[in-house]
Amino acid sequence: MNTIEKKEGNPLLSIYFTAGYPELDSTIRIAKKLEEAGADFLEIGFPYSDPVADGPVIQHSSEVALANGMTVKKLFEQLRELRQHVQIPVFLMGYVNPVIQFGVEKFCEECKNVGVNGVIIPDLPMYEYEDLYRETFEKNGIANIFIVTPQTSTERIRKIDSLSNSFIYLLSSNATTGKTLDVGEDTNAYFKRIHDLQLNNPLIVGFGISNRDTFQKASQYTTGAIIGSAFVKRLTEQDYMNQIPDFIKSIKG
C-alpha cells in the first residue's frame, strides 16, 4: 500500500538524503540506520546535474554523488537489497530528465521490483503525468507525489488530490531547499487553508524544516514534515552513521 499512515498523536518524520552521498555505497546503510533511529518514511534522491529547486547543501550532495558514480541504474542495483533491511515506506525524489532518459516504464517497473512506494518528480507537469504516464505508474503500483505551493489554486489542489493515492507534498514556501522555515501568520494561514480543504490524502510539509521547533510548527495542520538539508549537512561529519540516532531524537524527542 502506498499511503502513509499517521501514528496516533505523533506527526510523521520523513528524512531526505541523496543516493551515493557521501559515499557511493552508503545508500542502504543510511536508510537502515534512519529506520532504526525512528524515521517514519524516507525520500532517497537520485542526483541530477541541474537541480534547480535545491539549495547549496543538496546541490553539493548531488555533485559529489555524481562524481562518485551514482546513476539511476546504479541506484536500482543498490535498492535490490532495500527490503531486506528497511520496512518503512520509501520514495525516490529527483528530476524528470534522468527518468525519461532511463525510460519511464522501465523506471516504474524497477521501483516496483525493489519495493519503492512512490516517486516525487517536481518538474513533471501534472497534465503530462495524467496524459502520458499515469497508466504506467498505476499499473506498477507506484504513487506519484504532487507538489502544492502557496500559490496553488484550490481547483488545482483538488485535482491533485483526485490524482493522488499516497500523500501531497506541501511546500512551505517558494524558496529553494535549505532555507529556514519562518512560520509566521502568512505561513500558518497557508497551512490552515490547505488543512481546511479536508483532502483525502495526507499533507506532508517540505522545505525549511531543520529542527524540533520547525518540525512541530509545520506539523500543526499536517500529517508530518520532511527534513532534507539539515540531515544532509550531518553526513559531512566524521562518524556520521553513529550520529543518526541523536539527530532523529533531537527532532522527535
Give the tens place of pLDDT for each residue, 105-142.
Answer: 999 999 999 999 999 999 999 999 999 999 999 999 99
Active site residue 81: no
pTM score: 0.94
Residue 3 falls within a domain, yes or no? no
Of 54-58, 65-69, 211-215, 218-222, where does the model show the most confidence? Answer: 65-69
Cβ proximity of 91 and 43 under 8 Å: yes
> What pLDDT sits at residue 180?
53
Backbone angles phi, psi at 42, to 5 degrees: -125, 150
Residue 76 falls within a domain, yes or no? yes
The catalytically annotated residue of 50, 54, 81, 213 is 54
> What pLDDT sits at residue 189?
87
Angle at 168 between CA 28 and CA 54, to 5 degrees: 60
> What pLDDT sits at residue 177?
47
Q: Pick 29 or 180 by higher pLDDT.
A: 29
Give which of 69, 101, 122 is closest to 228, Cα–Cα. 122
> What pLDDT sits at residue 253?
82
Does residue 9 come out as left (phi exceeding 0), alpha (psi in the -120 to 50 range) or beta? left
Residue 18 falls within a domain, yes or no? yes
Give Cβ neighbours of residue 178 (< 8 Å, ≥ 6 apart): 54, 55, 56, 57, 58, 228, 229
Residue 22 falls within a domain, yes or no? yes
Three-state DSSP at 17 gives strand
What is the domain count for the chain?
Answer: 1
Q: How confident is the model at residue 24 (pLDDT cuts 50, 70, 90)?
A: very high
pLDDT in tens, 166-223: 999 999 876 544 445 555 567 888 999 999 999 999 999 998 899 999 999 999 999 9
Render the burial of 175-210: b for 16+ CB within 10 Å, e for the rest: ebbbeebebeeebeebbeebeeeebebbbbbbbbbb
Residue 40 falls within a domain, yes or no? yes
Is the pLDDT at 16 greater than 70? The verdict is: yes
> What pLDDT sits at residue 57?
92
The least confident of 21-25, 48-52, 239-243 is: 48-52
> What pLDDT sits at residue 5?
78
Q: How confident is the model at residue 49 (pLDDT cuts 50, 70, 90)?
A: confident
List the domain range (segments joined by +) for residue 78.
Answer: 12-147+206-252
Any bridge partners for residue 227, and if so which?
15
Residue 163 falls within a domain, yes or no? no
Q: How far apart are CA 103 and CA 117, in angstroms?
A: 18
The catalytically annotated residue of 35, 40, 43, 110 is 43
Active site residue 43: yes
Residue 117 falls within a domain, yes or no? yes
Cβ proximity of 14 and 224 under 8 Å: yes
Residue 152 falls within a domain, yes or no? no
> What pLDDT sits at residue 178?
42
Q: How confident is the model at residue 240 (pLDDT cuts 50, 70, 90)?
A: very high
Mean pLDDT in residue range 218-237 = 94
The least confident of 77-86, 100-109, 184-193 is: 184-193
Is the pLDDT at 17 greater than 60? The verdict is: yes
Whichever domain contains 35, its CATH number is 3.20.20.70
> What pLDDT sits at residue 1?
45
Give Cβ neighbours of residue 77 (< 8 Å, ≥ 6 apart): none
